[in-house]
Structure 1
Amino acid sequence: MEMIANKCHRVLNVKTSLRQLLSGVAITWKRCLTSSVKEPEGPVILTKIPGPRSQSLLQELNAIQQATSVQFFADYEKSFGNYIIDVDGNAMLDVYMQISTMPLGYNHPAMLEALADPVNQKIIANRPALGSFPGKDWPNRLKNILLKKEVAPPGLSHITTMMCGSCSNENAFKNIFIWYAEKQRQGKPFTKEEMETCMMNQMPGSPRYSIMSFKGSFHGRTLACLSTTHSKYIHKIDVPALDWPIASFPEYKYPLDENMRENQREDKRCLAEVEELFEKYNNEKKVPVAGVIIEPIQSEGGDNHASPEFFQELQRITRKHGAALLMDEVQTGAGPTGKMWCHEYFNLDTPPDVMTFSKKMQLGGYYHSDDLKPKLPYRVYNTWMGDPSKVILLEAIVEIIKKENLLDRVTRVGDYILKHLTNIQKDHSSVISAVRGRGTFIAFNCASPEMRDTIIKKLATKGIMAGGCGSQSIRLRPALTFTERHADIFLDALRSVLK
C-alpha cells in the first residue's frame, strides 16, 4: 500500500508540475497579449547599422556557418507592427518585411492569441508526417482555411501543402511530369522496362521532359528550381543545370501609358520566342516541354511586369502544345498586390493548371486542377508535407485580412505611394526611374547598381529597412497593415536621401 501511495504521490506531483508549467505558459502569453508594446511614432536610430552588438553576434555566427549575408540581428521580442528593432536598440520602419513574408507585421496580437490556445499548442507540439498520419482536424482545416473562397485561387479546388517556396515548385514540377507522362501512356500500366530503367536514370522510365522558364526569373534554390532560375549568377554558379528552354520576359518602357505600342511589340516578340522554343524542344531536341513556369511579377529579377494580354496569350500557347501553366505566386501571393493572388488581374480564360505559394502564407504548397492529382500514393511525398502549426497562423491572418479589409487598404495605400513616387521621380529623374507596382508591391530603378546600394544604405541610416532586386532596383514589400502615415515616413526619408 505504501508503494502504491508513493507512486500516486509522484503522479500527483507530475500533474501539479504540468499544471504549473501550462499556467506559466498561459501567463507568459497573456503578458504578451496585454503588454503596452506598440509601434514607435517613427524610426529611432541610436547606432550605425549594423551596430556593435550585431557585429559581435555576426562574428560568433560566422565562426560556425557562412553568415556574411546577415545585415543585422533583430530583437523579435521588441519588434512590433511595421517596425523591426535590432539588438542595438535601433527601430526601423520595415518596408521589406523579411523578404515579403510578414503579412501583418511583427507580433500581431491575433497571431499571438492563436498560439496561446491550448488546443493549438498540442498541434504545434505534435508535428505530424502529414502524408501518413494527419490529425483528425486536417481535412477540415484545409477546407475551411486554405480552400475557403477568400483564400483559394478561383477555379482550383485541390491543394498539396509543402514547407517552402522551393520545395513547392520542385514538387509541382513532379506533378506536371507525372501528369504529362500519364497522358503519353494513355492509361496503360507501367512496363517492366520503365520500372527497371528509371532506377538507372535512363529512358523510358526516366523520360526527357522539360520545364520552360523565363530570363530574369527566380523559382528557388533546389536543383530543378535552379534550372528555371535566371536572376543572379551567385544562385547558380558551380551547380549542374538541366538543358531546359529559357524564353525572354517582356522588358517594358516606362511610363506604360506613353509606350503602349513599343510594349505591345515586346509582348509579341517574347510570345513568338515561346512558340519557337516549344517547336525546338518538342520536335528538334526531343525534350518535350511538359510545363511553363512564370511569376506574375518577376520579383528577385527586378520587379518586372507583363501585361494581362501577355499572360492570356501565354496560356493559350501553353495549352495548344499540351503543356501545363504553373503560376509562381510565392512572393506575389496573399495580398500585397491588392488581390489575394496577382494572376487574378490577368482575366485568364481558365485558371492556371498549378499555382505555387509560400512566404506570406506561412507554409508552402500549390493549388492545382483535378487532373494533376497523382493517382498512386507516394508519388509526391515527403515526411512533413507542410506544417499544421503554420495553418494556425494563416487562419488568424486570413481573419484579420477580412475583418480589417486589408486588401482594400493595400490598393489605397499602394496608389498613394505610387502617386508620390512618380512626383519624386520627376524631381530626381537622373537618379530614379521606372516607378511601377500593383498595390504596395512596388519598385523603382536607380541610375546604377552602385547608386541603388548607396540609397538603401542611406535609407537605413534614416531608419528605413528597404530591399533591392534585379541589378539596380529598390523594392517595397511592406506588411498589409502599412498605412499612409507609414508611407509618408518612408517618402520623406527617400526625398531626404535623394537631395
Structure 2
Amino acid sequence: MQISSLPLGYNHPDLLKAAASPQCLVSQVSRPALALFPRSDFVDSLERTFGCVAPKGMKAVQTMVDGSSANENAIKAAFIWYMTQRRGGNPPDAEHLSSCMKHRQPGTPKLSVLSFDGGFHGRTLGLLTVTRSKPIHKVDIPAFDWPVAKFPRYKYPLDQNTKQNETIDNECLDDVKQKVEEWKAKGEEVAAIIVEPIQAEGGDHYGSPAFFRGLQQIAKKNGIVFIVDEVQTGGGATGDFWAHSHWNLPFPPGRGLGTFAAVDFPTPELRDKLVATAANNGLLVGGCGDNGLRFRPALIFEKKHLEIAFDLLDKSLKQI
C-alpha cells in the first residue's frame, strides 16, 4: 500500500511498459532490496538510477521494500553508527555479542529516537513509536519510551506573522534540546532524530528552513544522527527532487513548494464528507490530520488535468 508517494500517479503507461521489460522482471524475481547475493548488474543499476538523484553530499544508496522498511533500516543504521562511535570505531566484542542475545547491556543499549508531534513514519512495530499522527494507528500496540517534541504550528499568512513564527521555531527547538537532555539524564541517550519536511499524514504542517537548520545543528552538536523522512516529499513534488534541498543545510541529512497543497475544514465530519463525495465523482483527494484535505497531483499533470479536477471539486463542494 502507498499513500501519497507515487510521483507519477497510478497506472502510468510508461511505468507499466517499463515493468514488463526484461530488466525489471529480473529485479522483481531477484528481490532488488536484498543486499546479499545481488545480481551482477545490481551496483551499476543503482548508480544509473538512484545514484543520479542522490541528495547532495551522499554517495551510498540501498533500495528497500517500502517507506516503513526504509525508515526502520535508517534507524537501525543510526543505532549501529552511534554505538560504533561509543566504542571508538571498534566492532562489538564478545561481551556485546553475548549480552545482546539476552537483551541486556552493553549489547542491547538503552538508546532512543526523538520524533515530533503529528509525525508519521510508518506502521510497523518499531516505527509506531515515532509515529504520532493518529491514535488508531498506535492503540493496543506496545511502544518504546522515546521522546516526542513539538513541531511548528505557524500563524498564517506567513508574511504577516514573521516574528511570531520565529518565536514558534525557537520554542520547538528549545523543546528538542530539553528532550535530548532529559533522556540523556535517564540513561537513554537520543541516538537519532527523525522528521518529515512536511507533516503530511499528520495534517500538512510545514517547518521553516531556519527550523530545520537549527534542528540539524542540535543533532550535530550532540552527535545525533539526523534522519529526514522523504517518503512523501521525495520525487519532485515540492519543486526540487528532495524537499530538504530548500533548507540550505550546511551538511547533508540522513536523507516555492511545488504541487503540495492542502486546506483545512471547520470540522472533521465536513472534511470526510467531501472526501467521500469527491471519490464518488471520480476525484481522489486525501484526508490528513483531524480536518485537513490534501491535493497531491502527479508530476505529469497539465492544465487540462487541473480543469477536470477543479470541475469535479466544484461539483463535489456544491453537493455537500
- Shorter-chain TM-score bucket reads over 0.9
Query: Residue in 1 aligned with 2:48?
Result: 144
Instruction: Output one character per residue of 1:365-405: Cα deviation in whole Å (capped at 9) or x when no partner.
Output: xxxxxxxxxxxxxxxxxxxxxxxxxxxxxxxxxxxxxxxxx
Query: Residue in 2 aligned with 1:279?
Result: 181
2:33, 2:65 within 8 Å by CA — same for their partners in 1? no
- Alignment gaps of 5+ in structure 2: none
Q: Does 1:466 align with 2:254?
A: no
Name the CA distance, whole Å, in 2 between partners of 1:292 and 1:481.
33
Instruction: Output one character per residue of 1:77-130: Cα deviation in whole Å (capped at 9) or x when no partner.
Output: xxxxxxxxxxxxxxxxxxxx9622333234433223323434544444444683
2:115, 2:194 within 8 Å by CA — same for their partners in 1? yes
Instruction: Please show how residues 237-252 of structure 1 align to structure 2 within 5 Å.
Output: 237-252=139-154
Letter in 2 for 1:103: P
Query: Residue in 1 aligned with 2:304?
Result: 485
Letter in 2 for 1:316: Q
Query: Residue in 2 aligned with 1:21?
Result: none
- Alignment gaps of 5+ in structure 1: 1-96, 356-410, 412-437
Deviation of 1:255 (Å)? 1.6
Give the counterpart of 1:332 among 213, 221, 233: 233
Name the CA distance, whole Å, in 1 between partners of 2:192 and 2:23.
41
Instruction: Sort the Cα spacing of 1:278 and 1:127 in 2 relative to 1 into closer, same or farther, 3 A.
Output: closer
Instruction: Output one character per residue of 1:161-184: Cα deviation in whole Å (capped at 9) or x when no partner.
Output: 210111111111110011000111
Instruction: Sort the Cα spacing of 1:128 and 1:246 in 2 relative to 1 into closer, same or farther, 3 A.
Output: closer
Instruction: Sort the Cα spacing of 1:123 and 1:209 in 2 relative to 1 into closer, same or farther, 3 A.
Output: closer
Q: Does 1:311 align with 2:215?
A: no
Name the CA distance, whole Å, in 1 between partners of 2:88 and 2:2.
46
Instruction: Please show how residues 347-426 of structure 1 align to structure 2 within 5 Å.
Output: 347-352=248-253, 354-355=254-255
Deviation of 1:453 (Å)? 0.8
Deviation of 1:253 (Å)? 1.4
Instruction: Please show how residues 114-153 of structure 1 align to structure 2 within 5 Å.
Output: 114-127=18-31, 130-148=34-52, 151-153=53-55
Query: Residue in 1 aligned with 2:135?
Result: 233
What TM-score comes out, normalization by structure 2 length?
A: 0.94
For the residue of structure 1 that corresponds to 2:49, the secondary structure is helix
Instruction: Output one character per residue of 1:18-76: Cα deviation in whole Å (capped at 9) or x when no partner.
Output: xxxxxxxxxxxxxxxxxxxxxxxxxxxxxxxxxxxxxxxxxxxxxxxxxxxxxxxxxxx
Instruction: Sort the Cα spacing of 1:214 and 1:481 in 2 relative to 1 into closer, same or farther, 3 A.
Output: same
Name the CA distance, whole Å, in 2 between partners of 1:128 and 1:208.
33
What is the root-mean-square deviation in Å for CA atoms of aligned residues?
1.9
2:155, 2:164 within 8 Å by CA — same for their partners in 1? yes
Name the CA distance, whole Å, in 2 between partners of 1:173 and 1:290.
9
Name the CA distance, whole Å, in 1 between partners of 2:191 and 2:116.
15
Instruction: Sort the Cα spacing of 1:177 and 1:125 in 2 relative to 1 into closer, same or farther, 3 A.
Output: closer
1:100, 1:478 within 8 Å by CA — same for their partners in 2? no
Instruction: Sort the Cα spacing of 1:302 and 1:285 in 2 relative to 1 into closer, same or farther, 3 A.
Output: same
Deviation of 1:277 (Å)? 0.8
Instruction: Sort the Cα spacing of 1:252 and 1:135 in 2 relative to 1 into closer, same or farther, 3 A.
Output: same
2:32, 2:63 within 8 Å by CA — same for their partners in 1? no
Instruction: Please show how residues 86-125 of structure 1 align to structure 2 within 5 Å.
Output: 99-125=3-29
Name the CA distance, whole Å, in 2 between partners of 1:479 and 1:139.
29
Q: Which has the higher contact order (CA 8 A, sep 6+)?
A: 1
Instruction: Output one character per residue of 1:108-155: Cα deviation in whole Å (capped at 9) or x when no partner.
Output: 33223323434544444444683222111111101111101xx11111
Instruction: Please show how residues 164-243 of structure 1 align to structure 2 within 5 Å.
Output: 164-243=66-145
Letter in 1 for 2:239: G
Name the CA distance, whole Å, in 2 between partners of 1:338 and 1:319.
27
Number of residue pairs matched by the alignment? 318
For the residue of structure 2 that corresponds to 1:153, the secondary structure is coil
Name the CA distance, whole Å, in 2 between partners of 1:464 and 1:450.
18
For the residue of structure 1 that corresponds to 2:102, the secondary structure is coil
Give the counterpart of 1:443 among 234, 241, 262: 262
